[in-house]
Amino acid sequence: MEQMDVRALEASVNGKKVLNGVDISIQRGKIHVLMGPNGSGKSTLANVIMGNPKYTVTAGLINFNGEDLLKLKVNERAKKGIFLAFQEPVEISGVNTMNFLVTAHTNLRGKDPELRKEITKKMNELNLPDSFLKRSLNEGFSGGEKKRFELLQVMLLKPKIAILDEIDSGMDIDSVRMLGEITKNLSKDTGFLMITHNDHILDYIKPDMVSIMKDGKIIKSGDYQLIEQIRKEGYKQLI
C-alpha cells in the first residue's frame, strides 16, 4: 500500500510555531478527512507537505513510500505524485490557462497528444466553459470556478496523494455534490487528504479516516463514526 506518513511534524512561520507535532497518514486509494476550527493549522499542514518555502520545518518527518519528502524541492514532490489543491489559487497575469495545463501535464505525466480533448471533456463535466482556456491563469475566475479548476487539475494530473484544502468552500450545492462524486470516483486510485470546514461534502462521500486538528496538532482520529459524533455533539465536546 502506498502511503504518506507525517510524524511529529513541527513547523514555524516568522519565528512563530504553527505545527506542534502532527501525526497523520494518508493512504493511496483512501479518503482521509481533516477537520478543525479556524487557525488550527490545517492549511499550514497542507502547505508544509507540498513544501511552501514560507514555512520552516523544525522537527519531524514526512515519508512517502519510505522516501523523505522534506529533502525534495516542491516540483520534485509534485513529480512523486503529491498534489495540493489550493484554498486560494493565485492569479498570474498573462499566463495562458491552456498553456499552463499543458506544461503541468507534460512535467508530471509526460506528453499526451490527446490532452486537449481530455481537457475539454473534463471541463464539460465540471461545468467550466471552454473560454477559460484562453484566459490568464485564475484571473477573472469566480471563487467557485477557481475551486473547480483545481479539481480539474486533480482529474488531469492523477496524483497519488491529493490534498484538497477547503475545496468545497465557496462551492454551491450542485458543485459540492459533483465534487463528492468525482472524489469518490478518483479515490480508487488517489489518496485524498480532504480539509473541510463544513460537513455538506460528507453527505456524498464516506471517508475512511477522520482526524480533528487543534492548535497545530491532531487531537483525535477515527473512522466515519467520528463524523456522526461531531454531527451530534459539535466540535466543542471533542476539543
Contacting positions for other proteins (CB under 8 A): 50-54, 73-75, 77-79, 83-84, 86, 89-90, 92-96, 99-100, 102-104, 106-108, 136-137, 153, 157
Residue that is written with C-alpha cell 514532490 in the block: 77
Distance, CA of 179 to CA of 127 (rounded, Å): 12
Q: Which is nearer to other proteins, 15 or 94 (CB)?
A: 94
Which are the contacts of 208, defined by CB distance < 8 A and separation ≥ 6? 27, 30, 31, 32, 223, 224
The C-alpha cell that represents 184 in the structure block:
469518490
User: What are residue 45's phi and psi, to 5 degrees?
Assistant: -60, -45
Q: Which is nearer to other proteins, 161 or 218 (CB)?
A: 161
| Distance separating the N- and C-terminal Cα atoms of the chain | 32
* CB of 31 vs other proteins, minimal distance in Å: 21
* CB of 131 vs other proteins, minimal distance in Å: 17
Q: Which is nearer to other proteins, 1 or 90 (CB)?
A: 90
Number of residues assigned to the chain? 239
Which are the contacts of 224, defined by CB distance < 8 A and separation ≥ 6? 206, 207, 208, 210
Three-class SS state of 158: coil
* CB of 137 vs other proteins, minimal distance in Å: 8
Q: Which is nearer to other proteins, 139 or 189 (CB)?
A: 139
Q: Which is nearer to other proteins, 87 or 183 (CB)?
A: 87
* CB of 98 vs other proteins, minimal distance in Å: 11
Which are the contacts of 168, defined by CB distance < 8 A and separation ≥ 6? 147, 176, 179, 196, 197, 198, 200, 201
Q: Which is nearer to other proteins, 66 or 110 (CB)?
A: 110
* CB of 49 vs other proteins, minimal distance in Å: 10
* CB of 75 vs other proteins, minimal distance in Å: 5
Continuous H helices in 14-112? 42-50, 74-79, 97-109
